[in-house]
């Protein structure tokens, strides 16, 4: 069996200049679609020398074909996105396009399509044994639905890749686990009635927090009832409370379901430094997540594809995804962050406060602990009540 971890390069995205035009047209920088974010996140594994490691196989993204996109997305929506990408014009409001989160800019259809092609190839490569596992930093666009863009997401790469996997491997069971701070609503919706795709999402939930879905009671319908699992967490959830939810809920359901293939939407935005969210995770939890997920995958059929998802502090996102990359490839991180990468981050105006891969452990204030613990307890107990019987687990 191959020991290669496939890493999908961001070079093709960086070679285009549509996001530079977007920056010139906008009063504020788009938190996701901007050059600094792409450059800083891709440059860290490159400047750390990891892309030259013999255990890592660098793969280039490709644009997904029209037929691949139509596996999930509405034809009119795909055609409209193409039209905008070629600087055309069309009625866009019904498709969620040309908003602050999902703006229209030069080659937007290529920016959206390249990650999809990469994640499809990663999925097929891992399923056929070409790679041990795979990761694409650009992927996990979990808010996109059949005919709607939302939350920086134009095309839902994981839904398309899962559907392609199911076409090639009928009857196989897929686990989609989402640790992005935002609920994976589009992906959940795509498989809401399908017992062969178990979706599990741990996410922040609070008043007005995007996308406003992901309550415990959203458990699926029809044959899929019980196969959508949501673990909503309150603001200020720290490493300890987060990990309690993961071990008490995710691990037993995973072990009972016994998936044949695993997708992991990582999301670096649950980290305490992310500007768009309010959870308090540290790098230690991301490392623990990747090691535990790798262990659980190893106990099964050993098929895993990871995608970056959200993360709006580029320094944090770069470190989180590079930590996950090295864990998947079973190689060591360099002792310190590369000096040239720190200079690059600073050139873009980002602060790098520590020269290593860790951050200071942090606990929530004592006054908040009882409220947060009570909310996490409530989520755990509700999941056990609604979901555990489906998998023959005791509450």
Domain coordinates in residue numbering, the chain: 5-391
Whole-angstrom distance, CA of residue 98 vs CA of residue 88: 13
What CATH number is given for 5-391 in this structure?
3.40.800.20
Please tell me the predicted confidence (pLDDT) of residue 93: 65
pLDDT in tens, 218-258: 999 999 999 999 999 999 999 999 999 999 999 999 999 99
Bridge partners, residue 202, by sequence: 231
Residue 186 banded pLDDT, cuts 50, 70, 90: very high
Choice among 143, 182, 203, 271 that is catalytic:
143
pLDDT at 159 over 90: yes
Q: Give the pTM.
A: 0.96
Please tell me the predicted confidence (pLDDT) of residue 363: 82
Residue 89 banded pLDDT, cuts 50, 70, 90: low
Whether cis (ω within 30° of 0) applies to the bond prior to 299 is no
Instruction: List strand residue ranges (DSSP E) for 214-273, in order.
Output: 228-233, 261-265
Whole-angstrom distance, CA of residue 117 vs CA of residue 282: 31
Q: In the predicted model, what is the mean pLDDT of residues 105-122?
A: 96
Q: Is residue 143 flagged as an active site residue?
A: yes
Closest CA to 140 of 280, 13, 32, 277: 32
Provide the sign of the torsion angle of the four alpha carbons 257, 331, 271, 365, taken in this order: positive
Instruction: List strand residue ranges (DSSP E) for the chain, in order.
Output: 5-8, 56-59, 133-136, 174-178, 197-204, 228-233, 261-265, 304-307
Whole-angstrom distance, CA of residue 219 vs CA of residue 365: 33
Q: Which residues of 160-189 are buried (b: 16+ CB within 10 A; e: fewer)?
A: bbbbbbbeebeebbbbbbbbbbbbbbbbbb
Angle at 180 between CA 174 and CA 185, to 5 degrees: 65
Considering the chain, what is the average pLDDT of its residues?
A: 95
Whole-angstrom distance, CA of residue 123 vs CA of residue 129: 10
């Amino acid at each position: 069996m191959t020991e290669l971890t496939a890493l999908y390069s961001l070079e093709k995205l960086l070679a285009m200049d549509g996001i530079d035009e977007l920056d010139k047209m906008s009063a504020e920088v788009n938190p996701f679609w901007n050059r600094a974010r792409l450059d800083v996140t891709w440059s860290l594994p490159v400047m750390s020398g990891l892309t030259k490691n013999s255990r890592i196989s660098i793969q280039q993204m490709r644009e997904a074909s029209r037929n691949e996109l139509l596996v999930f997305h509405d034809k009119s929506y795909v055609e409209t996105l193409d039209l905008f990408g070629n600087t055309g014009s069309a009625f866009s409001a019904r498709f969620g396009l040309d908003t602050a989160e999902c703006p229209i800019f030069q080659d937007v259809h290529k920016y959206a399509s390249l990650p999809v092609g990469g994640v499809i190839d990663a999925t097929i490569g891992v399923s056929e044994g070409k790679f041990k596992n795979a990761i694409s930093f650009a992927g996990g666009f979990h808010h996109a639905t059949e005919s709607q863009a939302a939350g920086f997401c134009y095309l839902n790469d994981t839904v398309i890749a899962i559907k392609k996997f199911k076409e090639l491997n009928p009857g196989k069971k897929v686990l989609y686990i989402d640790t992005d701070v935002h609920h994976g609503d589009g992906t959940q919706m795509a498989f809401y009635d399908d017992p062969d795709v178990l979706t599990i999402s741990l996410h922040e939930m609070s008043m007005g927090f995007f996308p406003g879905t992901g309550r415990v009671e959203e458990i699926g319908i029809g044959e899929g009832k019980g196969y959508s699992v949501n673990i909503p967490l309150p603001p200020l959830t720290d490493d300890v409370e987060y990990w309690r939810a993961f071990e008490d809920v995710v691990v037993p359901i995973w072990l009972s379901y016994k998936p044949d293939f695993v997708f992991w939407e990582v999301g670096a935005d649950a980290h305490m430094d992310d500007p768009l969210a309010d959870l308090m995770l540290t790098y230690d939890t991301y490392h623990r997540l990747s090691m535990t997920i790798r262990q659980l995958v190893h106990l099964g059929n050993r098929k895993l594809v990871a995608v970056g998802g959200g993360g709006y502090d580029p320094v944090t996102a770069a470190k989180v995804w590079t930590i996950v990359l090295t864990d998947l490839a079973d190689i060591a991180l360099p002792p310190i962050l590369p000096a040239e990468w720190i200079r690059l981050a600073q050139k873009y105006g980002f602060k790098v406060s520590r020269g290593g891969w860790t951050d200071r452990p942090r606990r929530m204030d004592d006054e908040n602990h009882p409220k947060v613990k009570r909310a996490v307890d409530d989520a755990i107990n509700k999941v056990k009540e609604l979901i555990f019987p489906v998998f023959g687990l005791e509450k």
